[in-house]
Chain A
Amino acid sequence: MKPAAFVYHAPRTLEAALALLAEVAPQDGRILAGGQSLVPAMAFRLARPTHLVDINGVAGLDRLVLDGGVLSVGALVRHAAFHKADAKFGALGALLADVVHNIAHYPIRTRGTMCGSLAHADPASEWCLTAVTLGAEMVAHSAKGARRIAAADYFQGIMQTALEPDELLAEVRLPLLPEGAKHGFYEFNRRAGDFAIGMALVTYQVKGGKIAEARVGIGGIEGAPRRIAEAEAALNGQAPGKAAFEAAGQATAAVVDPIEDAQTPAAYRRDLAATVVTRALERAAI
């Protein structure tokens, strides 16, 4: 469990980091931020980057600010920054605080970063599910310039994203939730802090006693997180309650294409998809 040899770089500016990345990306050069996924993978020699560009010393990447109706999260903002709901962020702050406690364990949350999770794109990542469900925007920088990628286009499969090897995910932009929006998150795993076997994040508003603008996202079930239009359709216009929530769960189970692993058959995850959606909706209703 000793990593293979690599060259370590510690740039101080974003420009320098991007220039380095442009140079080393073709030789499997990688960005090092929190290192909570990459470093263990290197220890197992499953990842063997020849160069590491450590951005921890790059000024300005730890910004966590409101930018109009959007929360801008810089590449060095740690998971732990969301432990306490920031009133400034309204309902979104509360949502992030709910979600963050499901991410691994405390020491990991003080190092790992939200952008790192999004770049790594594990199907069981809570932040990837959050980004998809809320319709976040990824801001990718490279020596050639910056571009914005919508979450719906960004996640492309198990650990597959729209990022190019020479791009650094410098920022993720999360839209604030409307006033009065409800949210619910439910994750199932066998032990506290483990990767999710299945999870759901939902938001909706109640207008005139009916559900409106429902968003239902699932993670851990398929190769990448996604919103389930069929579940959202089953909710919008219905009164919040057991019947609607279970219908949304069933609608989800009917359309998912679950992944399989040695312990967990697809049928188990399909059942679980219904359960986590229904329970997330129940939590939102409390």
Chain B
Amino acid sequence: MTDHFAGAKTYPVPPTTEERTILGKRAVRLEDPPLVTGRGRYAGDINFPRQLHMRMVRSSLAHGVIKSIDVAEALKLPGVVAIWTNDDINELGPVDFRADRGAEILKPYRQPVLAKGRVRYVGDPIAAVFAEDPYVAEDAAELVEVEIDELPVVVDSWATPGEFEPGRSTEGALLKHSFGDIEAAFKKAHVIVELDLFTGRHSGVPMETRGALGYYDSAKDILELHGAAKVPHRNRETLVKMLGRAPKGLHVHESHVGGGFGIRGELYPEDVLVLVAAMRLGRPIKWIEDRREHLMCANQGREQRHKVRIAADKDGKLLGIDDEIFHDQGAYVRTHGANVANRTMCMMTGGYDIPAYRAVCHYRLTNKTPCATYRAPGRYESTFVRERLMDALADKMGIDRIELRRRNLIGKSQMPYLIEFEEQGVEELLYDSGDYELLLDKGLKAFRWDERKVEIAARRAKGEAVGLGIAIFVEESGRGPSDGAKMSVDATGDMELITGGASLGQGFETSMAQIAAEALGVDYQRITVVHGQTDRIAQGIGAHAARATVLTGGAVNETALKLRAKALEFGSELLQLPVGDLDIVNGVIVKKGAPAGGPSLSLADLAKKLTPGAKLLNGRDPHLAVEAWFNTDHTVFPYGIHFAQVRVDKQTGQTVCESFLIAYDIGRAVNPMLVEGQLVGGAVQGLGGALFEEFAYSETGEPLAVTMVDYLLPTLGEVPKIDVLITEDAPSPMNPLGIKGAGEGGINGVGGAIASAIDDAIGKPGAVVQLPVTPQRMKALLA
């Protein structure tokens, strides 16, 4: 190891799955029984007595000045309790950043809770109606008359910037990431390839739309937000600031969540409104977003244009990448500041050893739905760009696509591999572990790359257009700095594990229970995992950026180990045996290697003994309960390769993905079944962005995909069987379990791999420059 790890805490190689009891196994999900028997409790299932229903009045124009809002007619409708415009809540600031808090220059672009003077996208909330039932609320919303003077719109991020407000450009920031001497790299280049690439606007579309319920407990002076997801604790921090309340007076509660994907669970104007209204109107407020609103208002993502070039020497060794990016942020800067643009730039070089790099990003506001993070933010985009460059370069140099990649992969011996950017304040990347070439070899074999080439040649001879594609990427996960957990055993031997994590359907409860069960020595099914409740634990990171398993899992591991130590300490005293001779097996403290019937003490019995006041305690804290923390300064970097085979129907322009393989090194898998679920689900979404899904807008900024008829999510009919090869060749040295995240590895490379396969199928290297590849665009490519 080089000194890149100097000062960082590193861990030895963890045990393999075979050496473990429950960690790493395909354990059955703990969370399924209510979900598969119709007993799930989503935001829509929550009701409070006397609740009012909120309905938003939204802008039908993409840009304009609000001349007047007339609520008189709407207020006359029986059942309408109140209608608010910005004038009614003007003491509230805009919805604040959660991430990228340093981006001071972006603050003027934040979204007000209700439009303030101007509307900036179709769907921009102008007024909120509160009524006795949702039908009346919608009737009243229609009666609110809004007069708007239209302003010119900006729909393309690469067009000349417009005016956000007098004296303020729609170019919110000009961002830069670079290292090495880029000018010199291009000067000495043997080959240069330039591309103009575009990733279409799409996003996560969870089955459950957004929902929020505000409830004010006036007796306790506690304001509650229900229907939260993803980051309950972080959202509470923001809300506490916005509403000027003490943290103890505001709690956020997660229930079942029907999908998150980075977009559901962020803080939106409606979340703030239900809380303020619950207090002011003295009644609980319920808001459930409808699908049309969701497709117009929830965070979107991905829309970027890259004018990019790559330089290589005569052997195909990369010398530099130089990229000019136009990032479409939409109408406002939401909770993530410039994070997506920054993630795009910092992960652009991926798994290749590149001496020089420069990315300049025009971070621009447009009159479209605001954007933020969608699963693998910035990475789906940058992998598409990087892998397009590699294919184009291979073609230009006459080098096989795989061989060119192989020549440039960061070697195992180069790990840990440090990427430092010149710009101040830009975080370095320290790739913690990896054997990229080994995964390439394993992936090629598993996909039967060479055999497929032969099969395809035969099909081509019969007139079919079939091709193979590949995309190699590095992911990031488990960013620090720390997370905590609490765990206790009750007198029956059941356990409660309290975390500040969140469950979006990924199997969080199961994976945390497995980690705790392995460390403690108990049955994972007896552990109840609490998450998403700010009144149960003071801190929590939620579930985002593939962070939960690594960071919260790390905390759970520490907590269970601490509980184990406490149990063994007392067990040693009660059994009169040294701690070193004891083990915990299936919830019972036993003497190692002793036959059945030997000395033993169940954790349940021990919990009964550790009551307050018990003599046994001898000054130590009662209860079989502990709290512990896991700290890390470093992100971990899983990596993967996507392989695709597609068939193009040249007559209709339709692309069909025939097979897909995800090869992914996860370090150590907590539960391979859950990892596969994450990877396959992500790949399906990736196929959506590559071939189907697109939030298109007209020249006037009118959204063209506001129903499921126009926004084409891939269905079972369009998705092939997706194969998964999980490897554990490079456990992370940055955490004791060696684990890396899985949330985004399924989606990261799909756009790149599909584009690569399409080029191959139609025999036009470099043809695909825009996602999604619709039949209409394909026909244009073939023309």
Binds A, one of B234-242, B381-389, B663-671, B773-781: B773-781
User: Are the C-beta atoms of B652 and A275 separated by less than 8 Å?
Assistant: yes
Q: Hey, which chain B residues are within 8 Å of A207, CB to CB? A: none
A262: nearest residue on chain B (CB-CB)?
B704
Using A190-B775, A191-B712, A268-B776 as known contacts, say yes or no to A5 and B654 having CB atoms under 8 A apart. no
Q: Which of B61-69, B134-142, B528-536, B634-642 contacts A (4 or more CB under 8 A)?
A: B134-142
Establish whether residues A271 and B779, one from each chain, have CB atoms under 8 Å apart when the complex forms. yes
* Residue B160 interfacial (CB < 8 Å): no
| Residue of B290, B698, B714, B776 with most partner-chain A CB within 10 A | B776
A4-B139, A5-B135, A271-B779 known; A191 and B717 CB under 8 Å? yes
In the complex, chain B residues 692-745 whose Cβ is within 8 Å of any chain A Cβ: 692, 696, 698, 704, 707, 709, 712, 714-718
The docked-state distance in angstroms from the alpha carbon of A265 to that of B654 is: 15
B138 and A190 contact, CB distance less than 8 A = no
Whether the Cβ atoms of B715 and A190 lie closer than 8 Å is no
Smallest distance from the beta carbon of B77 to chain A beta carbons, Å?
A: 11
Measured CB to CB, the nearest residue on chain B to A279 is B651
Q: In the assembled complex, which residues on chain B have CB atoms less than 8 Å from the CB atom of A243?
A: none
Residue ID in chain A nearest B136 by CB atoms: A2
A residues within 8 A CB of B712? 190-191, 194
Shortest Cβ distance from B716 into A: residue: A192
With A1-B290, A190-B775 as known contacts, state yes or no: A272 contacts B652, CB within 8 Å. Answer: yes
- Which A residues are CB-close (under 8 A) to B134? 2
Report Cα–Cα, A194/B713, bound state, in Å. Answer: 11
Cβ-neighbour of B651 out of A5, A190, A195, A275 (below 8 A):
A275
Whether B707 pairs with A44 at a CB distance below 8 angstroms is yes
Inter-chain CA distance A176–B741, complex, in Å, is: 61
Q: Judge if B168 is at the interface, Cβ distance under 8 Å.
A: no
**In whole Å, how far is A188's beta carbon from the nearest beta carbon of chain B?**
5
List, in ascending order, chain A residues with CB within 8 A of B714's CB: 191
Closest Cβ of chain B to A98, distance in Å, is 17
Within the complex, which residue of B135, B142, B692 is in contact with A190, where a contact is CB–CB below 8 Å?
Answer: B692
A192 to B292, CA, bound (A): 22
B343 at the binding interface (Cβ < 8 Å)? no
Complex alpha-carbon distance, A237 and B290, angstroms: 56
Minimal Cβ-Cβ distance residue in A for B655: A190
Contact A265 B776 (CB under 8 A): yes
Which size bracket describes the interface of A in this complex?
A: 20 to 34
B: contact size bracket: 20 to 34
CB within 8 Å for A263 and B138 given contacts A1-B291, A195-B709: no
**In contact, B715 and A262 (Cβ under 8 angstroms):** no
Report whether B692 and A191 are in contact in the complex, using a CB–CB cutoff of 8 Å: yes
A26 to chain B, nearest CB (A): 23
**Nearest A residue to B289 by beta-carbon distance?**
A1
Contacts of A1-25 to chain B: CB distance below 8 A: 1-5
Shortest Cβ distance from residue A120 to the other chain B in the assembled complex, whole angstroms: 14
Convert A258-286 into 0s and 1s, putting 1 for each residue whose CB lies closer than 8 angstroms to a CB of B.
00001111001001100100000000000
Task: Kindly state the separation between the CA atoms of A263 and B715 in the bound complex, as whole angstroms.
Answer: 20
- Chain A residues within an 8 Å CB radius of B290: 1
Task: Decide if A157 is an interface residue (CB 8 Å cutoff).
Answer: no
A241 to B134, CA, bound (A): 60
Q: Is A69 an interface residue (CB 8 A)?
A: no
Q: How many CB-defined contacts (below 8 Å) exist between A and B?
A: 56
Specify which chain A residues have a CB less than 8 angstroms from the CB of B292 in the assembled complex.
1, 44
Give the residues from 360 to 411 in chain B that come closer than 8 angstroms, CB to CB, to chain A: none
Which chain B residue shows the least CB distance to A1? Answer: B290
Q: Out of A4, A194, A262, A271, name the residue touching B696 (CB < 8 Å).
A: A262
Cβ of A193 under 8 Å from chain B: yes
Tell me how far the C-beta of B782 lies from the nearest C-beta in chain A, rounded to whole angstroms: 10
> Could you tell me the distance between the alpha carbons of A3 and B134 in the complex, rounded to whole angstroms?
10
A5 touches B696 (CB 8 A): no
> Given A188-B654, A271-B779, A262 and B698 touching (CB < 8 A)?
yes
**Chain B residues, Cβ within 8 Å of A194:** 709, 712
Interfacial chain A residues near B142, Cβ < 8 Å: 45
* CB nearest to B209 among chain A residues: A1
CB neighbours of B717 from chain A (8 A): 191-193
Classify the secondary structure of A's interface with B. loop
What is the distance, in angstroms, from A191's C-beta to the closest C-beta of chain B?
Answer: 6
Contact yes or no, B652 A191, CB < 8 A: no
A275 and chain B: residue at smallest CB distance: B651
Within 8 A of A (CB), among B324-358: none
**B76 shortest CB reach to chain A, Å:** 16
CB distance from A4 to the nearest CB of B (A): 7
Q: Is the CB of B692 within 8 A of A193?
A: no
Give the chain B neighbours of A4 by CB distance below 8 A. 139
Interface residues in B115-144 by Cβ distance below 8 A to A read 134-135, 138-139, 142
Write the chain B residue with the least CB distance to A195: B709
Shortest distance between the CB of B464 and any CB in chain A (Å): 15
Q: Name the residue on A nearest B707 (C-beta).
A: A44
* Docked CA distance A268–B139 (Å): 41
Nearest A residue to B692, CB-CB:
A190
C-alpha spacing A118/B692, complex, angstroms: 29
Residues of B within 8 A of A191 (CB): 692, 712, 714-715, 717-718
Q: How far is the CB of B628 from chain A (nearest CB, A)?
A: 47
> Which residues of the other chain, A, contact B651 by a CB distance below 8 angstroms?
271, 275
Determine how close the nearest CB of chain B comes to the CB of A8; give it in whole angstroms: 14
Which partner residue on chain A sits nearest B293 by CB separation? A1
Q: Which residue of A lies closest to B55 (CB)?
A: A2
**What residues on A are CB-neighbors of B775 within 8 Å?**
190, 197, 268
The answer on a CB contact under 8 Å between B652 and A193 is: no
Please measure, in the bound complex, the distance between the C-alpha atom of A2 and the C-alpha atom of B293, giving whole angstroms.
13
Interface positions of A from 36 to 80, Cβ below 8 Å from B = 44-45
A263 to B696, CA, bound (A): 9
Q: Which of B138, B654, B707, B776 contacts A2 (CB 8 A)?
A: B138
> How many Å from the CB of B57 to the closest CB on chain A?
14
A78 to B692, CA, bound (A): 30
Bitwise, B9-52 to A at CB < 8 A (1) or not (0) is 00000000000000000000000000000000000000000000
A3 to B138: give the CA distance in the assembly, Å: 9
Query: How far, in whole Å, are A4 and B774 apart by their CA atoms in the complex?
Result: 36
Chain B residues near A268 (CB-CB < 8 A): 653, 775-776, 779
A5–B78 alpha-carbon span in the complex (Å): 14
Q: Which residue from chain A places its CB closest to the CB of B290 in the assembled complex?
A: A1
CA of A188 to CA of B651, assembled, Å: 11
Q: For window 754-783 of chain B, which residues contact chain A by CB distance below 8 Å?
A: 774-776, 779
List the A residue with the shortest CB-CB distance to B53.
A2
When each residue 269-300 of chain B gets 1 if its CB lies under 8 Å from chain A and 0 otherwise, what string results?
00000000000000000000011100000000
- Note all chain B residues with C-beta closer than 8 A to A192: 715-718
Within 8 Å CB of A195, what residues of B? 709
Q: Are B776 and A263 in contact (CB under 8 A)?
A: yes
- Do the beta carbons of B715 and A188 come within 8 Å of each other? no
Chain A residue with Cβ nearest B291 = A1
Which partner residue on chain A sits nearest B697 by CB separation? A262
Contact with A along B637-659 (1 / 0, CB 8 A): 00000000000000111100000
In the bound complex, CA of A176 to CA of B612 (Å): 87
How many Å lie between the Cα of A5 and that of B133 in the bound state? 13
Return chain A residues, CB-CB under 8 Å to B654: 188, 190
Q: How far, in Å, is A172 (CB) from chain B's closest CB?
A: 25
Across the A-B interface, the 7 shortest Cβ-Cβ residue pairs: A192-B717, A1-B290, A275-B651, A2-B135, A262-B704, A2-B138, A188-B652
A contact set with B: CB distance below 8 Å: 1-5, 44-45, 188, 190-195, 197, 262-265, 268, 271-272, 275
A-B contact pairs, 26 of them (CB 8 A): A1-B292, A2-B135, A2-B138, A3-B135, A4-B139, A5-B135, A44-B707, A45-B142, A188-B654, A190-B692, A190-B712, A190-B774, A190-B775, A191-B714, A192-B718, A193-B715, A194-B709, A195-B709, A262-B698, A262-B704, A263-B704, A263-B774, A264-B776, A268-B775, A268-B779, A271-B779
Known: A190-B774, A194-B712, A262-B704. 16 other contacts (CB 8 A): A1-B290, A1-B291, A2-B135, A2-B138, A3-B135, A44-B292, A190-B692, A191-B692, A191-B717, A192-B715, A192-B718, A263-B696, A263-B776, A264-B776, A268-B653, A275-B651
